């Protein structure tokens, strides 16, 4: 009789499109988000945490591909037959909260939220199915002063985390202006917004890819279609050459100053009341920012910003980091966008039936953290705890007391809990933990009431750089009274 097969062991691997975050990632992300939260708090925004799970109905159709409205989410049906999904972003949950608690919340309601979101999309290099977002939104404020405030707050947040002026720009446009241009081009009918809807969606997504595809690629997508390098064909919007010229004129409307840009946009959208309204809003935003000291060196009017999502109804904005990095092929390129947002006055209306103005911005947390590392603002290294080594198993209580004294003084510390037989392994463990110091006390030191403190950072530096004479003159290990342990550790950590 054949023997039963033993059960197959599960593979120890992360699901495709997901990743694990270790100590350095988590710690640096927290430091960065704390700095952003401080800026948001200073502007009067309150924190909000929503459920990671929403109804598919609440998430709505505003997902990455308008042709597949409910693909792109991780969804399932519960025992009562309701369809649920992991949140796709932090905006749709806010719309649900604003509608559900509209009688309890102040109006306008200003909130910020930070946390993971999930997208059931094809993963790729640097593109994950779970990632962090950091959002700030104002719900209930119809004035574009709210949009101007979001832009100013975004600029302040970038500087607070370590992106200096000159290394970023917040670019602002208005979807109304683009809609006005498309009206002039004949692909938008104000009396029937659903007409030409598919073509407009293709145009929006094409323009949003201008930096990657260039003018020729965008022209192809808004025209007959585009075949990429692999031979795959993407259906175009079907615009004529004349229509495409009008849209591309909008893309190249930026001038030396915001006033000149707005004047050019007035010319392009001159036949559209909606377009002219959008230009006026841009002029108001620029004026409000100027009196606060946010000039074009920090925030500028740029018609090339459109944002691909379909729910934006007015001003849209994007934060771009302008400093250069090397790509995977060693070529120089600008770092690119790390945040974006805009006005979405119809999102809450889905729940209430009444128009509720709203505007907000979302920061790509992982991208901003990568930018800080590229700038050398954070190293990816996190200091580990002071490690109290164990020389005698029977004296574990003494070692625990040392660690407790250090912790009580606010110093991160731990006792080595592995097999203490090989002392060298304890120091190897301390190195792997990135411990700055190791505390050592054998039986002889205990009788004399002293401890040895080994400076692991200095020891590594001396071993790598110093001559024999320097090594002798700068011992990386010192002896102090047990009663002075905390004071000496504080001194050494301060020196480091």
- Residues 30 and 51 occupy one common structural domain: yes
pLDDT at 488: 95
Could you say which of 374, 398, 419 is where a domain stops? Answer: 374
Domain for residue 309, yes or no? yes
Per the structure, the complete domain to which residue 429 belongs is given by 386-495
pLDDT in tens, 23-72: 888 999 999 999 999 999 999 999 999 999 999 888 875 444 444 445 68
- Residues 370 and 390 occupy one common structural domain: no
Q: Return the percentage of the chain with pLDDT > 70, whole number.
A: 91
pLDDT at 471: 42
Among the listed ranges 70-79, 451-460, 478-487, which one has the minimum average pLDDT value? 70-79
Ramachandran angles phi, psi of 375, nearest 5°: -85, -5
Cα–Cα distances in Å, from 182 out to 153, 345, 362?
Answer: 31, 20, 27
Nearest Cα to Cα of residue 325 among 314, 334, 316: 334
Ramachandran angles phi, psi of 48, nearest 5°: -140, 135
Cα–Cα distances in Å, from 447 out to 252, 441, 450?
Answer: 81, 10, 8
Nearest Cα to Cα of residue 117 among 97, 135, 101: 135
pLDDT in tens, 407-465: 999 999 999 999 988 899 999 999 999 999 999 999 999 999 999 999 998 766 665 56
Q: Return the percentage of the chain with pLDDT > 90, whole number.
A: 53
Domain for residue 4, yes or no? no
Q: Is the pLDDT of residue 1 over 80?
A: no
Work out the mean pLDDT of the chain and round it to a whole number.
87
Q: How far apart are CA 426 and CA 432, in angstroms?
A: 10
Give kind and range of the element (H or E) at residue 216: helix 210-222
Longest dimension (CA), the chain: 93
Higher pLDDT pick, 7 / 316:
316
Domain for residue 453, yes or no? yes
Could you say which of 350, 374, 398 is where a domain stops? Answer: 374
Higher pLDDT pick, 304 / 156:
156
pLDDT at 18: 92
Contacts of 451 (CB under 8 A, 6+ apart): 402, 439, 440, 441, 445, 479, 480, 481, 482, 485
3-state secondary structure at position 386: strand
Q: Which CATH number does the domain housing residue 269 bear?
A: 3.30.930.10
Q: How far apart are CA 434 and CA 386, in angstroms?
A: 9
- Residues 327 and 396 occupy one common structural domain: no
Asked if 180 contacts 269 with a C-beta cutoff of 8 angstroms, the reply is yes
Domain for residue 260, yes or no? yes
Q: How far apart are CA 307 and CA 340, in angstroms?
A: 8
Domain for residue 444, yes or no? yes
pLDDT at 475: 67
pLDDT at 379: 61
Q: Which CATH number does the domain housing residue 427 bear?
A: 3.40.50.800
Instruction: Look at the block and give the residue holding tokens 């946390």.
Output: 115
pLDDT in tens, 373-420: 888 877 666 789 999 999 999 999 999 999 999 999 999 999 999 998
Banded pLDDT at 229 (limits 50, 70, 90): confident
Could you say which of 374, 398, 418 is where a domain stops? Answer: 374
- Residues 449 and 421 occupy one common structural domain: yes
**In total, how many domains does the chain have?**
2
3-state secondary structure at position 338: strand
pLDDT at 380: 60
pLDDT at 123: 82
3-state secondary structure 37-53: HHHHHHCCCEECCCCCE
Tell me what the mean pLDDT of segment 111-136 comes to.
91
How many Cβ atoms from other residues are within 10 Å of residue 455's Cβ? Answer: 21
Cα–Cα distances in Å, from 140 out to 51, 108, 235, 258, 316?
Answer: 22, 4, 38, 28, 17
Beta bridge partners of 414: 387
pLDDT in tens, 160-215: 999 999 999 999 999 999 888 888 888 777 888 778 888 877 887 887 777 778 88
- Residues 149 and 248 occupy one common structural domain: yes
- Residues 218 and 189 occupy one common structural domain: yes
- Residues 303 and 242 occupy one common structural domain: yes
Contacts of 199 (CB under 8 A, 6+ apart): 187, 237, 238, 239
- Residues 94 and 139 occupy one common structural domain: yes
pLDDT at 192: 81
Query: What is the pTM assigned to this prediction?
Result: 0.83
Secondary structure E strands in 22-95: 46-47, 53-55, 75-77, 83-86
Q: How far apart are CA 162 and CA 151, in angstroms?
A: 17
Beta bridge partners of 170: 299, 319
Tell me what the mean pLDDT of segment 466-485 comes to.
72
pLDDT at 307: 73
pLDDT at 206: 82
DSSP 129-188: SEEEEEEEEEES--STHHHHHHHHHHHHHHHHHT--TTSEEEEEEEHHHHHHHHHHHTS-
3-state secondary structure at position 287: helix
Asked if 159 contacts 297 with a C-beta cutoff of 8 angstroms, the reply is no
- Residues 315 and 421 occupy one common structural domain: no
Nearest Cα to Cα of residue 387 among 451, 435, 431, 423: 435
pLDDT at 407: 97
Q: C-alpha dihedral over 170, 176, 181, 187, to 10 degrees?
A: 120
pLDDT at 169: 96
- Residues 417 and 346 occupy one common structural domain: no
Rg (CA), the chain: 29
Instruction: Look at the block and give the residue holding tokens 């649920």.
Output: 84
pLDDT in tens, 150-174: 999 999 999 999 999 999 999 999 9
How many Cβ atoms from other residues are within 10 Å of residue 256's Cβ? Answer: 8
- Residues 189 and 254 occupy one common structural domain: yes
Instruction: Look at the block and give the residue holding tokens 């796709």.
Output: 88
pLDDT at 253: 86
- Residues 369 and 391 occupy one common structural domain: no
pLDDT at 267: 87
Higher pLDDT pick, 113 / 81:
113
């Amino acid at each position: 009789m054949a023997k039963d097969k033993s059960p197959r062991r599960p593979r120890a691997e992360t699901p495709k499109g997901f990743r694990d975050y270790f100590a350095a990632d988590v710690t640096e992300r927290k430091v960065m988000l704390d700095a952003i939260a401080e800026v948001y708090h200073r502007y009067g925004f309150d924190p909000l945490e929503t459920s990671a799970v929403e109804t598919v109905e609440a998430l709505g159709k505003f997902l990455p591909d308008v042709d597949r409205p409910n693909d792109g989410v991780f969804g399932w049906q519960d025992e009562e037959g309701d369809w649920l999904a992991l949140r796709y972003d932090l905006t749709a949950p806010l719309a649900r909260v604003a509608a559900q608690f509209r009688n309890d919340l102040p109006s306008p309601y200003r909130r910020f939220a930070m946390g993971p979101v999930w997208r059931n999309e094809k993963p790729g290099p640097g593109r994950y199915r779970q990632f962090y977002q950091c959002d700030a939104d104002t719900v209930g404020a119809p004035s574009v002063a709210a949009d101007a405030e979001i832009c100013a707050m975004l600029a302040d947040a970038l500087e607070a985390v370590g992106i200096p002026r000159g290394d970023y720009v917040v670019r602002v446009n208005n979807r109304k202006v683009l809609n006005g241009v498309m009206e002039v081009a004949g692909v938008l009918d104000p009396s029937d917004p659903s007409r030409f809807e598919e073509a407009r969606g293709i145009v929006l997504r094409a323009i949003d890819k201008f930096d990657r595809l260039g003018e020729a690629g965008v022209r192809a997508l808004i025209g007959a279609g585009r075949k990429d390098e692999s031979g795959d064909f993407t259906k175009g919007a079907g615009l004529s050459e004349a229509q495409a010229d009008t849209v591309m004129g909008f893309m190249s409307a930026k001038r030396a100053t915001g006033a000149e840009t707005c004047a050019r946009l007035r010319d392009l959208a001159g036949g559209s009341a909606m377009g002219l309204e959008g230009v006026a809003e841009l002029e108001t935003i620029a004026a409000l920012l100027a009196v606060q000291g946010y000039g074009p060196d920090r925030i500028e009017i740029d018609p090339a910003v459109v944002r691909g999502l379909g729910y934006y109804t007015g001003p849209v904005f994007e934060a771009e980091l302008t400093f250069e990095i090397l790509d995977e092929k060693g070529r120089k390129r600008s770092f690119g966008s790390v945040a974006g947002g805009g006005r979405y006055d119809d999102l809450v209306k889905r729940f209430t039936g009444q128009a509720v103005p709203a505007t907000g911005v979302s920061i790509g947390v992982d991208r901003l953290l990568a930018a800080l590392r590229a700038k050398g603002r954070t190293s990816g290294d996190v200091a580990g705890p002071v490690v109290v080594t164990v020389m005698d198993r029977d004296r574990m209580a003494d070692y625990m007391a040392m660690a407790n004294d250090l912790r009580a003084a606010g110093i991160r510390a731990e006792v080595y809990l592995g097999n203490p037989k090989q002392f060298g392994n304890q120091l190897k463990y301390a190195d792997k933990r990135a411990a700055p110091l190791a505390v050592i006390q054998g039986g002889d030191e205990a009788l004399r009431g002293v401890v040895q403190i080994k400076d692991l950072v200095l020891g590594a530096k001396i071993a790598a750089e110093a001559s024999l004479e320097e090594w002798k003159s700068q011992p990386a290990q010192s002896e102090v009274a047990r009663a002075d342990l905390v004071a000496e550790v504080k001194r050494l950590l301060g020196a480091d």
